[in-house]
Every structure is written in structure tokens, then in C-alpha cells.
Amino acid sequence: MTKVVLQPGDLFATRSSSALGVAIRFVQWVWSWDREAPYNHVGIITSADGKTLEARWRFKEYNINDYAADKVLIVRHKEMTEEAFKNGMAAVAHDVGCLYPAYRIPLFLIPPLAKFKTGTGVCSEQTAEFMKGAGFMNVTYGLTPDNLADLWRVSKSMDIIFEGVWGL
């Protein structure tokens, strides 16, 4: 396998086989633009050694290697700079350490309800908030991991760095 060179500001999507992951993908599939929903979680890569900032049970630092043997998509915005990365991180800094907003999950059953901001966002909303802070996006609330992965795939501003089973 070719070594993947990560950079701060790279973004990732992943697919888990947990019951919650399957449920998220099903709801995303029902509302998806392309009738596919292969990913159920997204986050921000914060260092070349794979540290991440993502909303799991808390919005905090984890590591991309936690997804070894899972399907992963990693993308990079063509205009990501150190300054854009710092601006993106500043945009989400107030939520670091916050508990995952599980109360928001039911809002995604009827997507127009999820667009209303109600505090800390789910993983995709935090990732979109980072992108907005970096200057690459203007919508943050109501987005799902599938929405972001779809946007990343079609955007001419994004490069796909890796897609496949991570760590094998």
C-alpha cells in the first residue's frame, strides 16, 4: 500500500458497522441525493501523524488509526493553508470537550428540521463549521456525513487523498 501523507486540515469520512452507524447510513440513504450513503461519520485531521478532531461521545482529539480496517475517505482542499487551518480550528474551538449532541440525531429524520442551530453540532456539522471557518463553506447545520462526502467528491476544489480500507 502506498503511504498516505496526511496534512493538518485534511478531512475524512468513515463507515462503521455499529448499529448506530448502520442506522445513520439508512436514514442518509432515504434522503440522499445520489441514492448512496457509504459513510456515517466525518472529522478533521489535525496533524501529519493522524490526530483528528471529531465528534464521537465528545468533540475532542482522537486518531485516524482508530479506523483501521474500516472504509475511509480522506480529502484535502486545494487551497488549505496553515492560516486557513488555524481559522478553521478557531471556528470550532469553543465546542472542544463538549458532549455529543445526541438530541440532534432525531432531527435528521426530517432534514429540514436539522438545519436549525441548537448548540453543538453533530460530527458533520462540526466538520462543516471547520470548513466555514477556513473559508471553504457557508452552510454548517443540517449536513450529514453523506452530504459532505458527496460534496467533497464532486468539488473541483477537493483532492481525494485516499479511499479504501484504512491501515491494511
Q: What is the pLDDT of residues 61-82, one digit of tens each?
A: 999 999 999 999 999 999 999 9
CATH of the domain at 143: 3.90.1720.10
Q: Which sign, positive or negative, has the C-alpha torsion 83, 4, 11, 135?
A: positive
Q: What is the number of structural domains in the chain?
A: 1
What span, in angstroms and rounded, lies between the C-alpha atoms of 63 and 53? 8
Assess if residue 1 is contained within a domain.
no
Dump pLDDT digits (tens) for 42-61.
Answer: 999 999 999 999 999 999 99
**Prediction pTM value:** 0.93
Domain of residue 64, residue span: 11-165
Assess if residue 34 is contained within a domain.
yes
Res. 83: pLDDT tops 80: yes
Assess if residue 2 is contained within a domain.
no
pLDDT of residue 73: 98
Any bridge partners for residue 45, and if so which?
52
Instruction: Describe the strand order of the beta sheet including 41-45 as a list of residue ranges.
Output: 59-63, 51-55, 41-45, 11-15, 71-77, 158-165
Assess if residue 23 is contained within a domain.
yes
Res. 28: pLDDT tops 70: yes
Instruction: For residue 135, name the pLDDT band (cuts at 50, 70, 90).
Output: very high
Q: How big is the CA angle at 161 (ends 74 and 45), to the nearest 5 degrees?
A: 40
Residue with cell 426530517: 110
Coil/strand/helix, residue 26: helix
pLDDT of residue 144: 93
The answer to whether the CB of 55 falls within 8 A of the CB of 131 is no
